[in-house]
Amino acid sequence: MTVNEDSIRFTILNNNDIPVDLTATIGEDGQLYRCGSPIYCNCNNTLTPYLYLDGEVYCPSCGKKSLRVETFTEAISNIHLDYLGTDYNTMQDLYKLSDTLPYSTWNIVADLFAKLTPSDVDLGYKINYVGWVTSNPELVEERLNVREELRVCNREKIEPVTGQNRRLSETETFDIIDKLHEVFSVVETPYGEFQLFTAKPGQEYGVCVANPLYPPNPVIGNGEFWYIIEAENEIWYVRYNFSDGADRRFNNVLIDFELKATGKRIAYDEDVAELIRRLEK
């Protein structure tokens, strides 16, 4: 039997009756293959290859059938790249594929992708995503022959981001952060213990904005943010300072009831507050 579809996706119950999603290519013998090896059903303590017949995946030994089968034809016709966020280590925009590619098609673009791991996310990527990402969307789109209307540049033209809602450029980001550091560089660190918030930043009566180039990492104990507290007519610059080897003698900001950071404050200033709010973009 010859099947024209390059690959299929199907869902089948494993031995613990848990649904498992699999991808496979279909051989002329009707067997399913992944990376050149057959996909087996571990039934009756034997290894029996799954077969594809009349749009269904099944095991000829135990009779188990798939819950779902679909080809990649429709998915590939609508494939595009979705924006995830910015890697603040390189200031590059990162994108992910909108759907899974067949193995043979993935090989066409695999060299343009890198994998984000949970440790990458923890270390400050500020992107809540684990998986394959690319910083070269134009070349990926060219190799996959993505439809013109679905390409990144054309989707941005359809939904333009302008004015105050547009994302800052790399130069603008560095410039704002330099100005904010200059403002607080001449301010003395107030003596005492200050409880700025009792929950996560921004959940109380203030606006908390992280430095995108040095985001707070409460696990490692570094990073910085600005905290606008209009109710108290104050703006704070707070820097985590409890990593291994840190000099904690000047810590004055209580976080989770411990002196974990140093903070400086100024009276509320609309110009400074506007700079901080622009970093949220």
Q: For 146-190, how does the pLDDT look when each residue is reduced to its tens digit (9 = 90+)?
A: 989 999 888 764 443 444 455 666 778 888 999 999 999 999 888
221 closest CA partner among 199, 238, 236, 235: 238
**What would the mean pLDDT of 193-222 be, rounded to a whole number?**
70
Place of tokens 């579809």: 5
- Residues in contact with 61: Cβ distance below 8 Å, sequence separation at least 6, in sequence order: 41, 43, 44, 46, 48
Residue 156 CA to its chain's centroid (Å): 20
- What pLDDT does residue 156 have? 61
Q: What percent of the chain has pLDDT over 90?
A: 17
Distance CA 3, CA 56 (A): 13
DSSP, residue by residue, 151-174: SHHHHHHHS---GGGSPPPHHHHH
Mean of all residue pLDDT scores within the chain: 78
User: pLDDT value at position 74?
Assistant: 57
For the cut 90, the answer to whether the pLDDT of residue 211 exceeds it is no
Q: Which two tokens stand for residue 17?
A: 């009756």
* Per-residue pLDDT reduced to its tens digit, 99-124: 777 766 788 899 999 887 755 544 44
71 exposure class (CB count in 10 Å sphere: 0-12, 13-18, 19+): middle
DSSP 181-237: HHHHHTSPPPSS-B---SSSTTSSSSEEEE-TTS--BTTTTB-EEEEEEGGGTEEEE
